[in-house]
Structure 1
């Protein structure tokens, strides 16, 4: 939802000042700030609302629209000891929230001890779906080293996101609020105490995009099965003997699995690093003359180098570096034969008796296209 579509709430919006005391006869300026929020606590980040900041008993500047959902006015040049009430109106309706600005001969030191104050965001990182949230836990100390409680008005604040009202947990002696956001980035959190807004950032929450589904960025592992041929690319050649083809040779290609479901070649129009997209993202198909290369494995004469009865697997070694894996896929038939004869001694008879059950051949080092 855009900020322009969010309706500001008079009850949720805040009015604060960066100082609640101005020293008599000084050039100090108190900046009054109104931050608009929606009914659910979402911080409005666009201007244009009808906001008027007013003061009773002291002069105040005209209200300025900061164009980011906040509005400000200034009080300065105080010439007499005074105590003024400052509020705001939204669409002509007055807020019940008022702050007090005092003009005194001497103003007290800042009320909060920020060296001891601690904010914990749990968790420190959330998703930008507007639903995931971080619990903000604030332990606040004054200058005397005392923990503040619900007798002191405290509001946690942020420049963006959705921030609930601040409440006091008496059991843990913590001020708490809940933060959500639809915008990616690091959001600083600061605090208002007794309506005095402190510019010190006391913590932050990191807002991130949700991670894409695992298959969207799945990486095909480089291993024995995939170093020769991708498991996500399927090619089929159909020549004139094919039942469903016309004259000539047709090459059908398909992208399978995650690659097929999530990717369509986009040439140079794809945004970089999105799913499987790369620059020059074209499908290029080449035709080259086929040169037949073959070798023979004689199951009657050649003895397997390894016989693994537990996995019903025999391994033949050819030309020192090439290994052929032979799997017996009918486990019941294999176990029945092995209980009555030794495959180590009479391997050719074993294969003859196993016939016509399924045999599966595999070479993990080379790509083979045909078995005869």
Structure 2
């Protein structure tokens, strides 16, 4: 066993700043104490929150700074302050080797731009992808990527996303042979764009990799539990993610309205509380928090801006697990294996 993972955290990012970030770090530490933190941001504010968790004093370092990236800032504006902002300095500490992973709940576009500039993409990866866990009806969650880092993706990008997503699934879902599918408008081989068909043909030939390519899936089948990794471009992936989140909110709000509409409905609510609680837990985004920028020379995790302390703790655990299991090396090994079999993605249409 090596040194405990050190997670660099932008303590000022997100909707609530240091209060929830520090509480989330404390929750993650209570669950597993072999972890260290470097918190970037306003030291006075951070210390007020840390005082509530005296047991963490030995594992937390604070790096003071007043510069915070606003949620409304354009990535080009934020890049100019990569060396002074709490977000940029957290990512920079991964580049320098002072931290093993970086986490922020701040501006996604700014975070992507800073991470790509500081850490660069891995050899064999053209573009990084944003991956996250989504709930399913199966025995485990699924990994979906790209969720917004790239609005357009070619065949080569999709194949690389599949390799990275499968490696990520092996780590976070503990699956030795994850099932991988491409998001399409149908499951038949003749459906979809040439880009999707070419990517599918290449992935079918890559049966030497520790994953199982199972063709295409449609949007309404993502959550059924018959796939572990769903691969798509960032434009379609972001729409699919937002639609799923909106549908979850619609269902829970509709149930809440129905159960408060009459005395009989309220009685029914009391009888249904255990089942409704299970539904709430399953759909709560805090329980699946922690999107990852895959394909960089370092680990960078994005937390929901509205995440509570449970969500932040989950995102921290995702980051720490990727460090412990050396995800970057596993992706590099798969890329090397892919290259060794002389499957030329660049030659695809």
| TM-score of the pair, normalised by structure 1 | 0.24
Higher relative contact order (CA 8 A, sep 6+): 2
Which structure dedicates a bigger proportion of its chain to helix? 2
Which structure dedicates a bigger proportion of its chain to strand? 1
| TM-score of the pair, normalised by structure 2 | 0.25
